[in-house]
Amino acid sequence: MLINFDFNFDPQKAAPKYRQFADALAEFLESSDLPAGSKLPNDRELARQYGIAKVTLSRALGLLEEKGVLERRVGAGTFVAAKSGKVGRRIALVCHGTISNDNGFVSSLWDELHRQAPAYQVDLLILQRFPKDYQRAVNSYNLDGLIVLSAEMEFLPELQELARRGVAIAQVGMFHSECREISFGTDHMQAAGRAVEYLYDLGHRKIGFIMLTINGKPHFSSVERLHGYQKAMYDKFLPVNPDWIIGSGINMKCLGEDIYKLHDQNELPTAFILDSLGMAPKIYHIMRTINCNIPQDISFIGFDNAPLCSQLTPGLSCCGHDTKELVTKVFNHLCGREKHDGMPLPLILTERESCAKVNINFPPKNISTPKTKENK
């Protein structure tokens, strides 16, 4: 069978030579619509025709066999596989640390990625890596794309460089305007502002903020939410008591002490915004220990609308994104089906039972955030 397509190795691309050749060959096979069972020239002929080493060719053909594009038979040769000409993709979800099972955003994201992956012919992996190791991971695992969880600002230039060199990459969780071409998520400052606005319209004027810190340092996304909270409070001329801004480590040892102190001094706010959904069960428990009822005595609202929000009693109201929409946009981008519009995802407010009105002497203003009532 005649194989004839243009191939010129581009050293500026991140993909090694065997990956570039495999991609070019797969594209040719798909466009030529060759029938299943068609035999390719032997390895020596192909290597000579395209001026590549036999070991490079062998890796390229092995990769396409792994993806179901080719079938290699010992002693017989290489054949077009009896499958769809469409090339399957291997995509990795990459984080910079251990993923906790109680992380509402990550668990719901992973579940939705698994649900939609078959429609895009995607095999999913999960890896723990830092940006300096991304290129090595792409080569080692034959990856076609990377989904990077909530990257810190310091890592964005490296992600952009990988994208420029041809790696399909999506940074998810928080929208970064600095790299909007690969960023998928909500504007965290805006989300926190909407949470303040929602509580304000319920009559709350004393609103606190509880954020997660790791090794004493908040994640950049937490800082963005904190800034959004502070700006919204100032814009509405509301007091921001420094004691109402509580930073808690993963073990939350100091969280209870801070809340107990506010309670003993009769200084608890009427509502708290929760930066991290994983903190919610512990905070609910603390409220019970001081006989503070949710939402009769205090209201709570979070951001990531994950299954845990409904499992809590009372259910936790949230202002965040639609995970299904997020994953669809990410897969369309990574699989080349649709160009990313470079805009943050719209905010959706899901009301549950964790927030209640506070008596005020004037009617609340309307808010523009789309709202949903969870069906019971």
Output the pLDDT for position 98: 59
Output the pLDDT for position 97: 64
Residues of the chain with pLDDT under 70: 1-4, 14, 82-87, 97-103, 248-254, 360-376
In this structure, are strands 371-373 and 348-351 parallel, antiparallel, or unpaired? parallel
266 token code pair: 């009769």
Output the pLDDT for position 161: 86
0.85 exceeded by the pTM? no
Among 53, 61, 58, CA closest to 22 = 61
Output the pLDDT for position 85: 43
Task: Note the CATH number of domain 188-316+352-373.
Answer: 3.40.50.2300
Which CATH architecture describes the domain 89-186?
3-Layer(aba) Sandwich (3.40)
Residue 102: C-alpha distances to residues 98, 301, 327 (Å): 12, 17, 20
Q: Which amino acid is at 208?
A: G
The strand pairing partners of 350, in sequence order, are 318, 372
CATH 3.40.50.2300 residue spans of the chain:
89-186, 188-316+352-373
- State phi, psi for 281 to the nearest 5 degrees: -60, -40
Output the pLDDT for position 365: 41
> b/e string for 337-366 if b means 16 or more Cβ within 10 A?
eeebeeebbebbbbbbbbbbebeeeeebee
Output the pLDDT for position 14: 66
Output the pLDDT for position 276: 86
Which CATH architecture describes the domain 17-80?
Orthogonal Bundle (1.10)
Output the pLDDT for position 9: 78
Output the pLDDT for position 141: 83
